[in-house]
Structure 1
Amino acid sequence: MRTALLYLTAILLIVSITGTSFAADRGSDNYDVSVVDIYSDLDTCDITLHSSEQVSGLELEMTMEHEGSTLDKRKFSIDMITPDSDVTKAFEWDTDDKGDGKYTVNTMISKDGCVIYENAYNFVNGRQTIPRATVDDLVPNSQGFSVMITPQEAVVVDVEYMLIDGSDVIYSGTEKKISVHTQPMEVTKDWNVLLENNKEYTGRIKVKMYSPSVTYIALSEDFVAQDDVFISDTYEDDIGASATVDGISQVPFEGSVRFTVSKQDDDGENVIESVTQKSPILLNEDDETVETIWEERLTTGIYSLVIEVIGNDGDILDVEEKIIESDHEPSTQQTNNTGTEDAEESPGFMLSGSLFLIAIVALMSRKR
């Protein structure tokens, strides 16, 4: 029994050593991971990796060099790339070097300490020619982004946009063949992913021009994602009120709507009723109508109505003020006389019932 146990242990040890050795010996020729796109200037960089197979546990190292000196080095861990898919990283360089000339960005991808990909990307700082367009006023927010492109002459451009969480590009796309003539053009796009409230993200765009040579202009701006909605329509009368709320953020709105109706009297503004109703969850381009009914119908008079949309953090996102003019007069005389009328009708009902019984008895006597 002891001999069999030692034999089994030896086999497991051999298998373990063989497996470890195989993983360590697997070189770059056996991993189809490569860089399919990279852009860098002195301020920012983005790089896209592609793999034809599922691979995990990658390390990405980026180094910027100029005239033989290393200016900055960045390292990133990539947990997994699924088969035939891309992973994009974007980040800012930390360097004070702004001189003109040639710069080199060295890329190295490794797994388990083994280098599986190396390459170098060069760019030149300092424009040699005046660009045919300038890119101004990049404004990203919780809904999407807007950027203004100003032409120096008619030009056709591609606009690539990215939404970045830390160094991870979580959403991207490209608007191609945008014609910009003599007037500045605004390019706007909405995000299509959910955002987390009060979290910082980065919006990034790259404008590509094709002539006289292929050139890029890149801009990045940070923003803090927040829930946001607005009131698009209201209805109010002496019975109740409603508000239609439209979402304009990819942060899920989980707030509420407060209806406050008041009336002016000798002592000032007197709150008649205040009701808070929970809103359905809203995202960008969603809309829902929130309604309420007053506990008591508003009687004749002029009332003020304030409709407030309360956000996830308790902040007021939008306000509408309205006037309700009521001509409702409750029938007080009918209400007060109800008990009296019932009392008067009761004896009559009893007398009619007695006469009806007497008539039935008389008919039965005749038949006999």
Structure 2
Amino acid sequence: MTLLVYSEDLAVVDVYYMLVEGDKAVYVTRRDSVPIAGSFRSPSDLSLEWKQILKNGREYLGRVKIVEKRDGQTRAFMNSFTARYDAEITDTYSDETGASATVMGISRVPFEGSLRFNLHQDGILLASVEEKTPILLSGDDETVEVSWNRTLDPGVYRLTIQLLGNDGDLLDFEETIIEAKIPLRPATTRTDDGAEDDGSGISRSLSIALLLLLVAAAFIGFRRRQKS
């Protein structure tokens, strides 16, 4: 739950938190001797993340009691809410071979959704890949990767990444462009003697020299056979 507290003067308080489901307290904790700044412009953040795993669609009540250490003055707040799974896409990557997306959970209800990767070119759907995400709670993040099963031909492609919830509902959406380029051919280099090297590690002049040696060896063998 989120709680911001303002105070005219500097104060030290004890804070009691309670999470209630129906008529039962399912989580209780406290923070002792918490300083609160004496300024309306700088509120003190007394927010707390529930440790309890919540159930999707269930109604809960959050209660907070603040007790001043100096005089025992007490203030109480409460707020009801419906627990709901939630997550978001925090990072994406894509190229000619595949794509990935990082998903972060932002709820104490377990997220058990999926990611759908749709690849288009000229308005035509070329590929649609859907992968389940790991189970996520608030603060957990995982990266899901997919492959196009081949390197994309040169051209411009549009990629949409959809984050789907436990019930298949759309929670988040990212869109990007993939520009697949023509693979570069190996560049030719020159050897010390000025001959070009085509990348095979043997220059043209060296290839010619090897060929001449082979011809000479064959000629010598032929002369020897004639003499014998």
1:8 aligned residue: none
Q: 1:189, 1:271 → 2: CA distance? A: 45
Task: Specify the code of the residue in structure 2 equivalent to 1:272.
Answer: L
Q: TM-score, normalised by structure 1?
A: 0.47
1:308-319 matched pairs, under 5 angstroms? 308-319=162-173
The answer to whether 1:187 aligns with 2:46 is yes
2:127 to 273, 283, 294: 273
2:151 aligned residue: 297
Q: 1:204, 1:328 → 2: CA distance? A: 62
The answer to whether 1:220 aligns with 2:86 is no
Shift of 1:147: 0.4
2:4 aligned residue: 148
Instruction: Give ranges in structure 2 of 5+ residues lacking alignment.
Output: 184-228
The answer to whether 1:169 aligns with 2:25 is yes
1:178 to 34, 37, 62: 34
The answer to whether 1:246 aligns with 2:100 is no
- Asked if structure 1 preserves the Cα contact closer than 8 Å seen for 2:33 and 2:69, the reply is no
In the TM superposition, structure 1's runs of 4+ consecutive aligned residues that sit over 4 Å from their partners are: none
- Asked if structure 2 preserves the Cα contact closer than 8 Å seen for 1:298 and 1:328, the reply is no
What RMSD over aligned residues (CA atoms) do the two structures have, in Å?
A: 1.3
SS in 2 for 1:251: coil
2:57 aligned residue: 198
Q: 1:229, 1:185 → 2: CA distance? A: 27
1:1-20 matched pairs, under 5 angstroms? none
- Give identity over the alignment, percent: 42
Q: Which deviates the most, 292-301 or 214-223?
A: 292-301
Q: What are the superposed Cα offsets for residues 272-326 of structure 1, whole Å, 9 maximum, x if unpaired?
A: 1111111111112211111111134221111111111100121111111111110
The structure with the largest alpha-carbon Rg is: 1
Q: What are the superposed Cα offsets for residues 27-81 of structure 1, whole Å, 9 maximum, x if unpaired?
A: xxxxxxxxxxxxxxxxxxxxxxxxxxxxxxxxxxxxxxxxxxxxxxxxxxxxxxx
2:203 aligned residue: none
Q: 2:17, 2:80 → 1: CA distance? A: 14
2:69 to 177, 201, 210: 210
Q: 1:296, 1:165 → 2: CA distance? A: 52
Q: TM-score, normalised by structure 2?
A: 0.75
Q: What are the superposed Cα offsets for residues 333-368 of structure 1, whole Å, 9 maximum, x if unpaired?
A: xxxxxxxxxxxxxxxxxxxxxxxxxxxxxxxxxxxx
Instruction: Give ranges in structure 1 of 5+ residues lacking alignment.
Output: 1-144, 330-368
SS in 2 for 1:273: strand
Q: Higher strand proportion, which one? A: 1
1:157 aligned residue: 13
Task: Specify the code of the residue in structure 2 equivalent to 1:188.
Answer: S
Task: Specify the code of the residue in structure 2 equivalent to 1:249.
Answer: S
Shift of 1:235: 1.2
1:283 aligned residue: 137
2:226 aligned residue: none
Shift of 1:150: 0.5
Shift of 1:328: 4.3
Shift of 1:157: 1.2
SS in 1 for 2:159: strand
Shift of 1:203: 1.0
Q: 1:286, 1:315 → 2: CA distance? A: 20
Shift of 1:220: 0.9
